[in-house]
Amino acid sequence: MERRTFLQSSLTAGGLVAMPVLANTADAATEKGGREFFELRTYALKPDKQAILDRYFSASLIPALNRLGIKQVGAFYERPVPSSPIAHLLIPYQSLEQMATINASLAVAPEYLRSASDYLAIPATDPVYDRIESSLLSAFETMPKLETPAKRASLYNLRIYESHNEAASKKKIEMFNKGEIEIFRRTGLTPVLFGEAILGTRIPNLTYLLAFDDEAARVEAWNKFRSDPEWFKLKSIPEYEDKRIVSKITNKLLTPAEYSQI
C-alpha cells in the first residue's frame, strides 16, 4: 500500500478529516528535512483524580509509547494547581503515519493492556476527566525537532498565539523563523518546541514551549528579551506588528510531572 493511501485510510478509521492536506503536509515535512509532529493533549481532571492519571501515564501509557518508538514524552500540570487539575501530555511523532497507527497499536499491545486494565475499566459513573482535547502541531522550519533541555527544568511556559486568519498566522511564523527564535535562545528563553497547529481548536494558531530553571529565571529571561535591541528592530517592521498578525495570546505555566521525559 502506498504511504499516502495508508495514511488516509488510517486517519479515516480514527475519525479525522482533511486527509489530503495532512498527507501533503507529511510529504512536505519529509522533503524539508524530516520535521517532527507534536500531539498536545489536554486533560481537564475531575476532583481527586490526579493520582489515577499519574499512575496511568507513568506505568502504562508512556512506557507503551516508548516501546512503540516514541521517545521524550512530556507530562505537565498547569500551575497554580486548581481543585480540578489540568494535565498536558506532549507526544512527539516522526511522521503522521506513526501518529495514525498509535491507537491501533496500543489496542493490541498485551503489556499495555495489562498494566492499564484498572484505568481502562473505570466506570462512566466515576470518570477521571471530562474529555481530552488534542491539537496536532507541525514543527517550524528553523526548529524541526523537539529539543530537550540540557538540564531538567522545573518550570515550563506554554504559549499559544491565535491569528485572525491563515495569512496572519503564517506571517507570525515567518517572524519567528527569520529571527525571533534566535533572539529567544540568546536571551535565555530556551525553546523546547515551536509548532503550527494543523488540527485542533481555535485555528489558526501556533504553539511554543519554553523551559526554565525556576520562576526567577523565567522573569529574568523575558525581561532580557523585551529589552533586546534586535527584538526592537524586528518588531518595528510594519508587517510584523502584533496588532496585524496576532489576535490572542494564551500563556500557561506548567510544572513537569516527576515521570515526564522532557
Q: Tell me how far the alpha carbon of residue 189 is from its chain's centroid.
A: 17
Write out the chain's pLDDT in tens, 262 residues.
Answer: 444 444 444 443 333 433 333 444 444 444 445 899 999 999 999 999 999 999 999 999 999 999 999 999 999 999 987 778 999 999 999 999 999 999 999 999 999 999 999 999 999 999 999 999 999 999 999 999 999 999 999 999 999 999 999 999 999 999 999 999 999 999 999 999 999 999 999 999 999 999 999 999 999 999 999 999 999 999 999 999 999 999 999 999 999 999 999 9
* 81 in any annotated domain: yes
Beta bridge partners of 224: none
* 125 in any annotated domain: yes
Distances (CA, A) of 203 to 57, 135, 247: 28, 10, 11
Grid coordinates belonging to 46: 475531575
Grid coordinates belonging to 57: 501515564
* 262 in any annotated domain: no
* 178 in any annotated domain: yes
CATH number at residue 198: 3.30.70.100
Residues in the chain: 262
CB 62 within 8 Å of CB 92: no
Grid coordinates belonging to 36: 517532527
User: What's at 39, amino acid-wise?
Assistant: E
Single pTM value for the model: 0.87
* 19 in any annotated domain: yes
What's residue 16's pLDDT?
Answer: 41
Cα(135)–Cα(163) distance, integer angstroms: 16
* 261 in any annotated domain: no
What's residue 7's pLDDT?
Answer: 44
CB 203 within 8 Å of CB 209: no
Cα(193)–Cα(105) distance, integer angstroms: 26
CB 187 within 8 Å of CB 224: yes
* 68 in any annotated domain: yes
What's residue 81's pLDDT?
Answer: 76
* 197 in any annotated domain: yes
Cα(17)–Cα(213) distance, integer angstroms: 40
Instruction: Find the domain containing 177 and state its range.
Output: 3-256
What's residue 3's pLDDT?
Answer: 42
> Residue 233: phi, psi to the nearest 5?
-65, -45
Q: What DSSP state is assigned to residue 73?
A: -
Number of domains observed in the structure of the chain: 1
